[in-house]
Amino acid sequence: MRGTLLANRRGVQRFRQLAITAIKSSKIKLLLLCCIAFTVLVVGTRASDFMGGTNYSDSVDQFPLPEKGYAIVMNTWKRYDLLKQSISHYSSCAGLKSIHIVWSEPNPPSDSLSKFLNHVVESKTKGLKKIKLSFDINKEDSLNNRFKEISGLKTDAVFSIDDDVIFPCSSVEFAFKVWQSAPDAMVGFVPRAHWVDKSQGKKDYYTYGGWWSVWWTGTYSMVLSKAAFFNKKYLRLYTNEMPASIKEFVTKNRNCEDIAMSFLVANATGAPPIWVKGK
C-alpha cells in the first residue's frame, strides 16, 4: 500500500514536470512566432516604402551625401602670375572637386583672368572630371575672408592654401588621406609652436615660435592654414562664433588669422593638429 502511494506521488510529480516543460515550450514558441510576425511586418513596410520610392528619394534630397574629395580655398592678393601658376598646378590633383578663390581686392576679377583660369582648369582635367572654379568676392579687405562660410560647398574636406605655396599633388593626396583618418583634426604642412613665456612673470603670456623652433625642439602645437586640410564646419564656426575682438585684431593687424583658426579647431576638438611632411 505504501509502495503504491509512493509510486503515485512520483507519477504526479513527473506529470507536473512534463506539464511545466510543455507550458514553457509553448511560451517560447509563442514568443518566437510574435517576433517572426513583427519582423515580417517591419520588412514589408520598409519594402513597400522603398518600392513606392517617394519617401526614399525625398530623404536623399533632404540630406545629400557629401562628395568624396576636397575643395581648395585659395587666398590671393594682386599676384596674378602666382595665382595662375597655382591654379594650373592644383587643377591636376586627383582628389580636387572645386576651387574657391578668396578675392578681397577693391576691383572684381577681370574677364580675361577669369577666362584664363577656367580654360586652365578645363585643359588640365581633359574632360575626365568637372572642377568648379569660382571667385568668392568680398567687399571688405580682411584676412578673415579666407575663412568665410561657403554656401553650397559639397565636400566636407577643405584644403586651405595661399597662392604662393605649391606642394606636389602626391603630397596633397597623402595629406588628404591622413585627414580622412581624423576628419575633425587640422592636417597641414606648416608646423609652428607656442609656449608660456615665464620671463614675463605671467601664466597667460605666450611666445610664438617659427619653423626653427619646431626643428630645434622637435615639437609643434599648431599647423598654419596657409597649407592645411580641415572640415568645412570650421568655416561656419569661424564666421558665426569667433569672438569679434579676435576678428577685429586680424583685420587691423593683417595677421594671425591662421593662429585663430588653429586655436578654434583645438578648442572645438580638444585634440592636437597633425603635421605631415611635404616638399
Is-contact 274 178, C-beta < 8 A? yes
* Cα distance between residue 87 and residue 84, in whole Å: 5
CB atoms within 10 A of CB 154: 15
Is position 258 annotated as part of the catalytic site?
Answer: yes
Contact partners, residue 163, CB within 8 Å, separation at least 6: 74, 75, 76, 77, 79, 82, 83, 86
Q: Which three cell numbers stand for residue 219?
A: 615639437
* Cα distance between residue 200 and residue 227, in whole Å: 32
Report how many helices (DSSP H) and strands (DSSP E) the chain contains, helices first: 9, 10
Among candidate residues 156, 162, 163, 258, the one labeled active-site is 258
Phi-psi region of 79 (alpha: psi -120 to 50; beta: other; left: phi over 0): beta
Task: Indicate the residue type of 41.
Answer: L
Residues that are catalytic: 258
